[in-house]
């Protein structure tokens, strides 16, 4: 639920938070949700964050 609320804000700080969760949280489902919501936010910053996640794998 918290990931949804943060994503709903959609600003740069939300993208940074979701990126951190997607890259480092221990819970797979939470990481998956963070990636999903980054995709829903859209924009250059979110797209860059998604690319960074892909590069790290």
Q: How many domains does the chain have?
A: 1
The two structure tokens encoding residue 36: 């999903």
pLDDT score, position 51:
96
Return the pLDDT at 45.
Answer: 95
Note down the domain range covering 10.
Answer: 2-56
| Signed CA dihedral, 9, 13, 19, 20: sign only | negative
pLDDT in tens, the chain (57 residues): 788 888 888 899 999 999 999 999 999 999 999 999 999 998 999 999 999 999 987
Q: 43: alpha, beta or left, given left = phi > 0 and alpha = psi -120 to 50?
A: left
Q: What is the pLDDT of residue 2?
A: 82
Give, in degrees to the nearest 5, the angle at Cα 21 between 16 and 24.
115
Per-residue pLDDT at 56 = 87
Query: Are 31 and 11 contacting, i.e. CB atoms less than 8 angstroms apart?
Result: no
Distance in Å from the first CA to the final CA of the chain = 26
Residue 21 has what pLDDT? Answer: 95
């Amino acid at each position: 639920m918290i990931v949804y609320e943060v994503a709903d804000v959609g600003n740069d700080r939300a993208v940074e938070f979701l990126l951190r969760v997607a890259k480092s949280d221990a819970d797979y489902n939470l990481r998956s949700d963070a990636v999903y919501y980054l995709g829903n936010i859209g924009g250059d910053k979110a797209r860059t964050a998604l690319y960074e996640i892909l590069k790290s794998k």
